[in-house]
Amino acid sequence: MSFRDLRNFTEMMRALGYPRLISMENFHTPNFMLVSEVLLWLVKRYEPQTDIPPDVETEQDRVFFIKAVAQFMATKVHIKLNTKKLYQADGYAVKELLKVTSVLYGAMNTKGVERADVSEEDSSKLKFDLGSKIADLKAARQLASEITSKGASLYDLLGKEVELREARTESIARPLEINEAEKMMKIAIDCVLEQVQKTKDMLNNVALDEASLEAKIEKRKLELERSQKRLQTLQSVRPAFMDEYEKIEKQLQKQYSSYLEKFRNLSYMEQLLDDHRRIEQEMFEEAANMLHLTQNRLKEEEQHLLKSGNNDDSDVEIQEDEGSDSEVEDRQIMKQRTATETLLQG
């Protein structure tokens, strides 16, 4: 035990957040209660779900507690602890405790440095594209499934280790016979020679396949060359009906141009006809309105004349004068009627 180890241990425990204050005077004499409390706290820091009995009242309980902690540290954390020094609970136990606390302290420092680096970087750099990580995610899932399958197979094989151990020890203890060894070696040599022959046959088959494929390729190349030459000859030769086709095409172009001209003229004439019909319809409606107005006016004049004739029967001179006036008015009325009839006829 050294003063430096005690100082480092107390500082590390304080940095890790141990709730109790530890001084360097606590380990001058054996203090198993403090050691057990520190060990239990460290185990909880590594894995909170660990179930280790905290009873350390009797000697058997203390031995069981030290063994459980040492086994946990060896299997989970891969740290080998000296159980005798831990059981002494003095300054020598501090060296064993320092092995565990140094690992936790180093992990805490590493995590703190990573957080500081992340805080200094821009927040935009923290954003990453999940699409680029899909392949890694698939690979991780595949590896996880392989790990589970390998772990299950390994567990089954370890379960058979008890039976296989006896057979292995028997096989090792049994004396080696030269005849059987020669026989097994011959069998192995024959198997290897058979595999070599199969490989050679496959190589020969590959060579034959390669030759057949090359022959097919050459044949296809020749066919392609013949087809290209035939295409060139067909493109160079002018068909016999090509002159007639060009002549008919020119005539068709002329017919199409004349058709377009006639179609435009027909459309223009139809538009003019529609305009003329519309103007005639408007004129007919105006004439009908004028006729209706004249008929109403003539009816009113006739009624007025009839009323004036009934009121002046006593005076003869006036009647003669009115008779002459009425004849003039009758003539005017007849003229108007004849004019309206001619308008209607027209």
CB atoms within 10 A of CB 129: 7
Query: What's the pLDDT score for residue 286?
Result: 92
Residue 229 pLDDT > 80? yes
Residue 194 pLDDT > 80? yes
168 burial level (CB within 10 Å; 0-12, 13-18, 19+): exposed
Which residues have C-beta within 8 Å of that of residue 82, sequence separation ≥ 6? 96
Which range has the worst mean pLDDT, 197-201, 241-245, 258-262, 310-314?
Answer: 310-314
Residue 47 in domain: yes
Range of the domain at 238: 178-245
Query: What's the pLDDT score for residue 335?
Result: 58
pLDDT, tens digit, for every residue of 273-317?
999 999 999 999 999 999 999 989 898 888 888 888 766 554 544
Domain end point (choices 78, 109, 140): 109
Q: How far is CA 190 from CA 159, 183, 194, 196, in A?
A: 35, 11, 6, 10
Q: How far is CA 125 from CA 117, 129, 291, 312, in A?
A: 12, 11, 94, 120
Residue 161 in domain: no
Buried (b) or exposed (e) across 27-56, using 16+ Cβ within 10 A?
Answer: beeebbeebbbbbbebbebeeeeeebeeeb
pLDDT, tens digit, for every residue of 71-128?
888 888 788 888 888 888 777 888 888 888 888 888 887 765 555 554 545 444 444 4
Per the structure, the count of domains in the chain is: 2
> How far is 118 from 112, CA to CA, in rounded Å?
10
Greater pLDDT, 318 or 298 = 298
Domain end point (choices 50, 79, 109): 109
